[in-house]
Amino acid sequence: MRQKVCYINDIMDICERLEKCPFYQDKMIIETGLGTILKKKYCESNKNECARYMVLQTIGAEYVDNTLFPHMKDRAYELIQMNKKN
């Protein structure tokens, strides 16, 4: 019987953009405690729920500015809706 192997990266969807992302690199203005919470919640465990990542993946990096934070999914949906190419 084969054993099921579960790797930590399969569970935790860590973002591949940690080194380049202005949010993760503390280049965006945010209260430190909140920034730490958002990094844990999105960057280090669930990138696909991050507003910045969603916009980046869907319509491109040029639409991701430094006022868009990971928890701003409503704004991400708006940006995607307004700029989606058919």
Binding site residues, ligand SF4, CB under 6 A: 15, 17-18, 21, 23-24, 42-43, 47, 50, 52-53, 70
Nearest CB to ligand SF4, comparing residues 26 and 78: 26
Q: Give me the residues paired with residue 13 across strands.
A: 46
End-to-end CA distance of the chain: 48
Q: Report the residue number, 5 or 8, with the smaller CB distance to ligand SF4.
A: 8
Tell me the C-alpha distance between 65 and 23, whole Å: 10
- C-alpha distances in Å from residue 33, one per residue of 17, 26, 38, 66, 86: 21, 12, 9, 18, 40
In the bound state with ligand SF4, the residue whose beta carbon lies nearer, of 18 and 80, is 18
